[in-house]
Amino acid sequence: MPLLLAVAMSACSPGGEPPPGARASQQDGASTTSPQPPAVQQPVAATAQTSQSATTAVVTPQPPSVPPANAPILQVPVTKIDFGKQPKDKTITREIALRNVGKSELKIESVVPS
Amino acid sequence: MDFPKVLLPGKAGSIKVKVETGKNPGPHVKSVTINSNDPTQPKLQVDLAFEVK
């Protein structure tokens, strides 16, 4: 009996109020040997997001683009041309064939030598 | 370089290139890069190989 009273007293706050989570039906001095359930803590967010909106997304305006199915397709049948043996200081002229096998306009923006 | 600016779907064209062989003997490779609005290959390289005698 004295032992049970000691346990009840240690669980109470100095103000005499029962600790949070304590059963309301419990009377003063009643024994409560069962351990109190741990307080549920909210997980700490690892990001620096504010509590106002966790789903704020920054939308970067994208230029209108052609759907992949209707995109232009550049086809160059030969991507390596071998002129063979040539003399010095000669200008070789050749036409590179190409075709648009896509479904929208193909724009050749530039042809840059390297 | 002479090339078509626009190719309609299904149309073919050609790019006329000129290559100077120079004075250095031996094998050489020069390239041209075709820049277009093809989303899968916006830059397509064509190699031009030759050997100077």
- pLDDT digits 0-9 by tens, A93-107: 999 999 999 999 999
- pLDDT digits 0-9 by tens, A34-76: 666 666 555 554 454 445 556 777 776 665 566 678 999 999 9
CA distance A59 to chain B (A): 22
Q: Which of B15, B19, B37 sits opposite A109 (nearest CB)?
A: B37
CA distance A60 to chain B (A): 19
In this structure, the dihedral spanned by the alpha carbons of residues B15, B16, B22 and B28, taken in order and rounded to 10 degrees, is: 30
Span A6-11, average pLDDT: 39
Is the ipTM above a cut-off of 0.90?
yes
CA distance A64 to chain B (A): 13
Nearest to B36 by CA among B24, B45, B27, B49: B45
Q: Tell me, what DSSP letter sits at residue A9?
A: H
Query: Residue A41: what pLDDT?
Result: 58
Selected residue of A86, A89, A104 to mutate for chain B interface (largest B Cβ count, 10 A): A86
CB atoms B21 and A90 under 8 Å:
yes
More reliable by pLDDT, B48 or A11: B48
Q: What long-range pairs does A29-37 form, CB within 8 A, spacing at least 24?
A: A29/A5, A31/A4, A31/A7, A32/A7, A32/A8, A33/A4, A33/A7, A36/A11
pTM of the prediction?
Answer: 0.60
